[in-house]
Amino acid sequence: MTTRWYKEPWAYFVFFLPLTAVIAGITTLIIANTDADTVVVDDYYKKGKSINLEISKIKEAQKLGIAFDMMVSEQEIVLKPTGIEKSFPVLNVSFYHPTLADRDFSLKLTADGNGWYRQTFDNDITGKWRIQVLPFDQRWKLQTTVALPQSEFRPFELQY
């Protein structure tokens, strides 16, 4: 006895697998086109050459003996200078999320009466962050990677 193909259950099983692969491929293509990958750098050659300049700024900070203790709570950052006599009018502090570029932000910190640099902010800072500190003239740079928030002062660990 012969049955029509559309009455055979195995026909639907055979059609289902390729159809699932096509739908998954189209979905992947749509996701890839709508969500840009911010981790990938367009011009990696120029980015690689600029690393030497950044390292020289970090070495300049080491040569000058610039160091800070840092505390970052849910809504405030405080930098306490250690080992330096000079005060800076403004420090530019940038927060970089490792994978989500839209969460990156920068702050300008000014010294209070104690010589500590503090600023409040509204951004969500939970998780791992790369933090960079530069003076207004950008002669030197400090950077570190930390898990935030942190409720007590910790030394600003230098990283290249």
pLDDT tens, position by position, 72-109: 988 899 999 987 767 788 999 999 998 888 899 999 99
Q: Are 95 and 105 in contact (CB under 8 A)?
A: yes
Quick one: pLDDT band at residue 135, thresholds 50, 70, 90?
very high
CA quadruple 148, 146, 106, 142: dihedral, nearest 10? 150
Return mean pLDDT, the chain.
86
Helix then strand then coil, in percent of the chain rounded to 5, is: 35, 30, 35
Percent of the chain at pLDDT above 90? 39
DSSP string, 76-93: EEEEEEES-----S-EEE
- Nearest-CA neighbor of 109 among 149, 71, 158? 71
Compare 152 and 38 and report the one with higher pLDDT: 152
pLDDT at residue 119, as a whole number: 92
Per-residue pLDDT reduced to its tens digit, 12-64: 889 999 999 999 999 999 988 887 666 665 666 666 666 666 788 888 888 88
Question: CB–CB of 121/77 below 8 Å?
Answer: yes
pLDDT of residue 133: 93
